[in-house]
A and B are shown apart, each in its own frame.
Chain A
Protein backbone atom coordinates (compact mmCIF):
# COMPACT_ATOMS: atom_id res chain seq x y z
CA UNK A 1 0.00 0.00 0.00
CA UNK A 2 0.81 3.73 0.06
CA UNK A 3 1.97 4.02 -3.52
CA UNK A 4 2.48 7.41 -5.10
CA UNK A 5 3.18 7.83 -8.78
CA UNK A 6 4.59 10.77 -10.67
CA UNK A 7 4.46 11.51 -14.36
CA UNK A 8 6.53 12.18 -16.31
CA UNK A 9 9.75 10.84 -14.81
CA UNK A 10 11.90 12.86 -17.21
CA UNK A 11 11.26 16.12 -19.00
CA UNK A 12 13.53 18.04 -21.34
CA UNK A 13 12.09 21.28 -22.63
CA UNK A 14 13.08 24.57 -24.19
CA UNK A 15 13.33 27.73 -22.17
CA UNK A 16 10.02 29.57 -22.03
CA UNK A 17 7.76 26.56 -22.22
CA UNK A 18 5.50 25.32 -19.44
CA UNK A 19 5.77 21.88 -17.94
CA UNK A 20 3.10 20.00 -16.01
CA UNK A 21 3.96 17.27 -13.52
CA UNK A 22 1.31 14.95 -12.13
CA UNK A 23 1.33 13.30 -8.73
CA UNK A 24 -1.14 10.55 -7.93
CA UNK A 25 -1.82 8.53 -4.80
CA UNK A 26 -2.74 5.14 -6.21
CA UNK A 27 -4.14 3.24 -3.27
CA UNK A 28 -5.23 5.84 -0.74
CA UNK A 29 -6.94 9.19 -0.62
CA UNK A 30 -4.46 11.92 0.16
CA UNK A 31 -5.83 14.82 2.14
CA UNK A 32 -2.55 16.63 1.77
CA UNK A 33 0.07 16.60 -0.94
CA UNK A 34 3.48 18.21 -0.87
CA UNK A 35 5.87 19.35 -3.57
CA UNK A 36 9.61 19.36 -3.02
CA UNK A 37 12.61 20.34 -5.04
CA UNK A 38 16.00 18.71 -4.72
CA UNK A 39 19.29 19.90 -6.18
CA UNK A 40 22.13 17.43 -6.72
CA UNK A 41 23.61 16.12 -3.49
CA UNK A 42 21.34 18.30 -1.40
CA UNK A 43 18.38 17.73 0.83
CA UNK A 44 14.77 18.21 -0.10
CA UNK A 45 13.35 21.70 -0.07
CA UNK A 46 9.63 22.03 0.49
CA UNK A 47 8.02 24.22 -2.13
CA UNK A 48 4.36 24.06 -1.23
CA UNK A 49 1.63 22.16 0.56
CA UNK A 50 -1.73 21.56 -1.00
CA UNK A 51 -5.00 20.32 0.39
CA UNK A 52 -7.72 18.95 -1.81
CA UNK A 53 -10.08 21.66 -3.00
CA UNK A 54 -8.17 24.59 -1.56
CA UNK A 55 -5.32 26.85 -2.59
CA UNK A 56 -1.80 25.69 -2.02
CA UNK A 57 0.37 27.15 0.71
CA UNK A 58 3.76 28.17 -0.65
CA UNK A 59 6.98 28.34 1.28
CA UNK A 60 8.83 31.60 1.56
CA UNK A 61 10.77 32.39 -1.58
CA UNK A 62 8.73 30.15 -3.86
CA UNK A 63 6.94 32.07 -6.60
CA UNK A 64 3.35 30.92 -6.71
CA UNK A 65 2.80 32.41 -10.15
CA UNK A 66 5.69 30.40 -11.51
CA UNK A 67 4.93 27.13 -9.78
CA UNK A 68 1.20 26.57 -10.13
CA UNK A 69 -0.23 23.84 -7.96
CA UNK A 70 -3.64 22.30 -8.36
CA UNK A 71 -5.08 19.66 -6.05
CA UNK A 72 -8.34 18.86 -7.77
CA UNK A 73 -9.07 15.53 -6.14
CA UNK A 74 -7.96 13.37 -3.23
CA UNK A 75 -5.72 11.37 -5.53
CA UNK A 76 -4.26 13.95 -7.90
CA UNK A 77 -2.12 17.03 -7.57
CA UNK A 78 -0.34 18.82 -10.39
CA UNK A 79 2.62 21.16 -10.46
CA UNK A 80 3.01 23.40 -13.49
CA UNK A 81 6.32 25.15 -14.01
CA UNK A 82 5.39 28.13 -16.11
CA UNK A 83 7.81 29.76 -18.53
CA UNK A 84 10.59 27.44 -17.43
CA UNK A 85 14.17 28.66 -17.45
CA UNK A 86 17.44 26.75 -17.09
CA UNK A 87 17.63 27.61 -13.39
CA UNK A 88 14.38 25.68 -12.89
CA UNK A 89 16.19 22.50 -13.87
CA UNK A 90 15.98 20.24 -10.87
CA UNK A 91 14.51 17.07 -9.40
CA UNK A 92 10.91 17.60 -8.34
CA UNK A 93 9.36 15.16 -5.88
CA UNK A 94 5.83 14.98 -4.61
CA UNK A 95 4.50 13.26 -1.55
CA UNK A 96 1.06 12.40 -0.28
CA UNK A 97 -0.33 11.86 3.19
CA UNK A 98 -3.56 11.55 5.06
CA UNK A 99 -2.78 14.79 6.89
CA UNK A 100 0.02 17.16 7.80
CA UNK A 101 1.38 15.08 10.65
CA UNK A 102 0.84 11.75 8.99
CA UNK A 103 3.53 9.82 7.19
CA UNK A 104 4.39 11.23 3.79
CA UNK A 105 4.77 8.73 0.97
CA UNK A 106 6.87 9.95 -1.89
CA UNK A 107 6.59 9.62 -5.61
CA UNK A 108 9.56 8.55 -7.76
CA UNK A 109 10.34 12.14 -8.75
CA UNK A 110 10.55 14.06 -12.01
CA UNK A 111 13.84 15.24 -13.45
CA UNK A 112 13.37 18.50 -15.33
CA UNK A 113 16.01 19.83 -17.68
CA UNK A 114 15.38 23.20 -19.27
CA UNK A 115 17.60 24.00 -22.23
Chain B
Protein backbone atom coordinates (compact mmCIF):
# COMPACT_ATOMS: atom_id res chain seq x y z
CA UNK B 1 0.00 0.00 0.00
CA UNK B 2 1.14 3.51 -0.74
CA UNK B 3 0.80 6.24 1.80
CA UNK B 4 2.15 9.70 2.46
CA UNK B 5 1.85 11.16 5.94
CA UNK B 6 2.24 14.81 6.76
CA UNK B 7 1.63 14.84 10.48
CA UNK B 8 1.79 18.62 10.80
CA UNK B 9 -1.59 20.00 9.80
CA UNK B 10 -0.77 23.64 10.47
CA UNK B 11 2.40 25.48 11.40
CA UNK B 12 2.86 29.14 12.25
CA UNK B 13 6.25 30.82 12.40
CA UNK B 14 7.43 34.36 12.68
CA UNK B 15 9.13 35.82 9.65
CA UNK B 16 12.84 34.98 9.35
CA UNK B 17 12.51 31.82 11.41
CA UNK B 18 13.47 28.48 9.90
CA UNK B 19 10.77 25.86 9.54
CA UNK B 20 10.83 22.17 8.66
CA UNK B 21 7.87 20.37 7.12
CA UNK B 22 7.82 16.64 7.74
CA UNK B 23 6.89 13.94 5.25
CA UNK B 24 6.90 10.20 5.85
CA UNK B 25 6.01 7.76 3.10
CA UNK B 26 5.20 4.08 2.70
CA UNK B 27 5.66 1.98 -0.39
CA UNK B 28 6.75 -1.54 -1.27
CA UNK B 29 8.23 -0.45 -4.58
CA UNK B 30 11.98 -0.14 -4.78
CA UNK B 31 11.75 2.49 -7.49
CA UNK B 32 9.71 5.52 -6.69
CA UNK B 33 9.72 9.31 -6.88
CA UNK B 34 9.02 11.87 -4.20
CA UNK B 35 7.76 15.39 -4.76
CA UNK B 36 6.97 18.58 -2.93
CA UNK B 37 4.39 21.03 -4.21
CA UNK B 38 3.35 24.43 -2.90
CA UNK B 39 -0.25 25.61 -3.07
CA UNK B 40 -0.58 29.34 -2.35
CA UNK B 41 -4.00 30.89 -1.63
CA UNK B 42 -4.57 31.33 -5.38
CA UNK B 43 -4.91 27.55 -5.62
CA UNK B 44 -2.35 26.65 -8.24
CA UNK B 45 0.06 23.87 -7.30
CA UNK B 46 3.66 24.87 -7.86
CA UNK B 47 6.22 22.13 -8.39
CA UNK B 48 9.19 22.46 -6.04
CA UNK B 49 11.26 19.30 -6.28
CA UNK B 50 11.37 15.73 -7.56
CA UNK B 51 13.66 13.10 -6.09
CA UNK B 52 14.07 9.48 -7.16
CA UNK B 53 14.50 6.65 -4.69
CA UNK B 54 18.11 6.00 -5.68
CA UNK B 55 19.29 9.51 -5.03
CA UNK B 56 19.61 10.25 -1.33
CA UNK B 57 21.66 13.36 -1.73
CA UNK B 58 20.22 16.33 0.03
CA UNK B 59 19.38 19.29 -2.11
CA UNK B 60 19.47 23.01 -1.53
CA UNK B 61 17.81 25.60 -3.70
CA UNK B 62 18.06 29.09 -2.31
CA UNK B 63 16.21 29.17 0.99
CA UNK B 64 14.75 25.70 0.38
CA UNK B 65 16.43 22.44 1.31
CA UNK B 66 15.31 18.85 1.31
CA UNK B 67 16.50 15.93 3.42
CA UNK B 68 15.76 12.49 1.99
CA UNK B 69 16.42 9.52 4.26
CA UNK B 70 15.40 6.09 3.01
CA UNK B 71 16.23 4.49 6.35
CA UNK B 72 13.38 6.40 7.97
CA UNK B 73 11.24 6.78 4.81
CA UNK B 74 11.26 10.52 5.22
CA UNK B 75 11.56 13.41 2.83
CA UNK B 76 11.56 16.56 4.90
CA UNK B 77 11.50 20.10 3.59
CA UNK B 78 13.15 23.06 5.33
CA UNK B 79 12.60 26.72 4.58
CA UNK B 80 15.34 28.96 5.92
CA UNK B 81 14.65 32.55 6.92
CA UNK B 82 10.95 32.25 6.15
CA UNK B 83 9.09 35.05 4.43
CA UNK B 84 5.43 36.00 4.31
CA UNK B 85 5.28 34.85 0.67
CA UNK B 86 6.09 31.34 1.89
CA UNK B 87 2.63 31.15 3.46
CA UNK B 88 0.86 28.33 1.63
CA UNK B 89 -0.18 24.71 1.88
CA UNK B 90 2.68 22.37 1.11
CA UNK B 91 2.03 18.88 -0.21
CA UNK B 92 4.41 15.98 -0.20
CA UNK B 93 3.64 13.34 -2.84
CA UNK B 94 4.82 9.91 -3.94
CA UNK B 95 4.80 8.10 -7.28
CA UNK B 96 5.54 4.44 -6.61
CA UNK B 97 6.50 2.19 -9.49
CA UNK B 98 4.32 2.98 -12.46
CA UNK B 99 1.40 4.23 -10.45
CA UNK B 100 -0.20 7.58 -9.98
CA UNK B 101 0.77 10.41 -7.69
CA UNK B 102 -0.24 9.94 -4.06
CA UNK B 103 -0.56 13.14 -2.05
CA UNK B 104 -0.22 13.70 1.64
CA UNK B 105 -2.86 15.73 3.43
CA UNK B 106 -0.77 18.87 3.29
CA UNK B 107 0.74 21.22 5.84
CA UNK B 108 -0.59 24.77 6.04
CA UNK B 109 2.27 27.15 6.76
CA UNK B 110 1.56 30.64 7.99
CA UNK B 111 4.44 33.07 8.22
CA UNK B 112 3.64 35.96 10.51
CA UNK B 113 5.26 39.29 9.69
Q: In the bound complex, how far is the Cα of B105 from the Cα of A44, in angstroms?
A: 8
Q: Give the contacts of A85-115 with B (CB-CB under 8 A).
A: 91, 93, 95, 100-101, 103-109, 111
The residue among A101, A104, A108 with the most chain B CB atoms within 10 A of its own CB is: A101
- Interchain pairs with CB closer than 8 A, number: 47
Given A43-B91, A100-B98, A101-B33: A93 touches B103 (CB 8 Å cut-off): no
Within 8 A of A (CB), among B69-113: 91, 95, 97-101, 103-106, 108
| Any A CB within 8 A of the CB of B62 | no
Contact of A54 with B by CB under 8 A: no
Q: Given the known inter-chain contacts A34-B101, A43-B104, A43-B105, please indicate yes or no for A103 contacting B50, CB distance below 8 A.
A: yes
Majority secondary structure of chain B interface residues (helix, strand, loop or mixed): loop
Taking CB atoms, residues of chain B closer than 8 Å to A93 are: 43, 45
Count class of interface residues, chain A:
20 to 34
We find that the number of chain B residues with CB closer than 8 angstroms to chain A is 22
Q: Which of B18-55 contact A (CB under 8 A)?
A: 33, 35, 37, 42-47, 50
**Contact assessment for B91 and A106 in the assembled complex, using a CB-CB cutoff below 8 Å:** no
A49 CB–B CB distance under 8 Å:
yes
Which residues of A line the B interface, CB within 8 A?
Answer: 2, 34, 41-44, 46, 49, 91, 93, 95, 100-101, 103-109, 111
Which residues of B are interface residues toward A (Cβ below 8 A)?
Answer: 33, 35, 37, 42-47, 50, 91, 95, 97-101, 103-106, 108
